Structure 1
């Protein structure tokens, strides 16, 4: 039987942001970590585990310490001698971001190198989460290992959530990404795609087409589409939940990941899909009004509970 914890699998990178002149601010971020940050903030009593692989350099040590300082463990994730984290820098034009990456030899690419350790990290979790980026940083054999371990966790009672999060630059061929995504969906209970990604990857003409395609594979589907309504398919019914317009966003980094975290927090708390999506939209709207991928816990909680922030 699954326990009460939540585990997210992927790559937490060094983030350089807030560039003003020659000065940059360093933080830690990555799609699956951004999601867990929000989920952890909104599920205060649930143990949170970030499952990856880490180096033994000072930056990796600080990364692990940062997680611990915020109540997030690393389970049995391997610490690999001589390895180091990936790095990316955010540049902004208005609120829109672009990224430059240095990640080819990142430690996280070895997150499935020890199947027994990976399996141990996923034991007794209420929820296991991963993304298309998790798949993309692994070679084919490691992807198969990951999906085998996730499937075992699911069979043991864990709910599995997956965001396809297609990033063409991380894949050698579109067809490879398609095949890996379909394999991941086969072990998924809740799919959290973004429509423009699905349009690029599978050629879906509309969000409804994404719902129709994924609804044949997964029991619960939530299609995000920026400031357009989210479409939710569950138990044969489709709901449309309007997004929240933000007139002057500051930084859109992490908005979709935070939506996912809030949606899953709400579902784990017993809210229905439509109410969960409404709360997730509120959280995403709050996140785009702060700089960086990780909004303060208080900001996330106030938006989730629809209360004025202090």
Structure 2
């Protein structure tokens, strides 16, 4: 006969009560920390979780008059409409290419900047260089795009130089083949310096004695970076890469929309600008919600996939 262990309900209730008492005791002891945490939790709940209720309209024939719950159920009709639309392939591939190439080319730049800044020993020079690198991050997308149109216009300084060399200007902002690289390179110029802050902070914790000992052993600069600096920031690199890959389909709407012209539309029309046009300009809220939800689902799948791959390659270290 199998031995069965009888659980005393009263003992279990006492244990649960004791556990709840310990939690309340910790809350009372550190109540000020929970008070500081409360605003962030409340704002996250209000602006991140409560709006998820509105995603229901992606599955309905939404009518502002009837409201979300009063509108008729449509199922996957809007998703099928988007997937079968003639623009789907172009919009999806434009978004994927812009995000993928942006990730590949922009991800290493902050790391290289941080490694170079870490070699600057004079504090004054280092601060001035950091200020120069961080400043573009505080320029708005509207100003950035305005600068691009001025510098890359047929009569701008870049085309003046090209005309002097080749004899004819290039239509940078009108030709679809230039849009993607202008977008990516301007993004790197604007955000690489700011993105390097987290790596600079991590490298500041490296013990200088490690570099001194490696130098005495005959290690050159590249060897010290490879065996001391890079292992220090490798966990941060993994987390940043996972988060960036998880948002690979979430391109900023403002800059892409502002850079659009009637001539470069075959390369500049992405999911974010498409949602804006069909949602706010055309008033098809249910269809635009379905497109946005489709984009979010792809991001979640990519996040889980990349996190799984990185954990396998990085000795179990990942986002979670």
TM above 0.5? no
* Higher relative contact order, chain-length normalized (CA < 8 Å, sep 6+): 2
Larger helix proportion of the pair? 2
Larger strand proportion of the pair? 1
TM-score norm. by structure 1 comes to 0.20
- Bigger-Rg structure (1/2): 2
TM-score norm. by structure 2 comes to 0.19
